Amino acid sequence: MDADLISYESMLAARDSANWAYWSMIAAFFSAGATLLAAIIAFLTINSWRHQARAQEVRNFILAVYNFHNVMIRAPELQAGKELEGLDYELCMQTYKALSSVYEANLMIQSAKVRGKTATLFSQLSDVQIQYRKYELTRDEAVKKILEIRTSSPLLRASY
């Protein structure tokens, strides 16, 4: 073999190697761009899921308040000195269960700002239920107060 031929073949190999390195660099840039685009899409998707989850928490609270309102509509009329029995007792206990569901929905809310608003609403609803159980409010008055709370609160107004 001739030294010139070996040099020539080495030069061709070096040129091909540089060519392959150039195209590999281009492919690496496209790969990095695709990875960056996938990361951006993943971030936006996760962010939208978080937003949907927060909205679902508020919807669950609104539904719990709505159910509490419906339970109070079906609650028995309480009279001082009269013991509740049978179906009346069960219907009265449903008010406690429904109010407990409102409290659970309040606790499930992650946003501190929204949780503060829902905690205030829960306190108002709890006060109505306590007044009802202490015979300070009739069932119809309690239902009207709950309706006032639902219609006056911007958070609950959409449900009415």
What mean pLDDT comes out for the span 29-45?
93
Summary mean pLDDT of the chain? 87
125 — pLDDT class (breaks 50, 70, 90): very high
CB atoms within 10 A of CB 21: 9
What mean pLDDT comes out for the span 135-149?
90
C-alpha distances out from residue 110 to 2, 89, 105, Å: 79, 35, 10
pLDDT in the model for residue 159:
55
What mean pLDDT comes out for the span 6-11?
81
Give backbone dihedrals phi and psi of 23, rounded to 5 degrees, phi first.
Answer: -70, -30
User: 51, 96 in Cβ contact below 8 A?
Assistant: no
Q: Where are the alpha helices (DSSP H) in the chain?
A: 3-74, 86-107, 112-133, 139-152, 154-157
pLDDT in the model for residue 5:
76
User: 124, 117 in Cβ contact below 8 A?
Assistant: no
pLDDT in tens, 100-110: 999 999 999 88
Which of 92, 96, 99, 97 has the alpha carbon at shortest distance from 74?
92
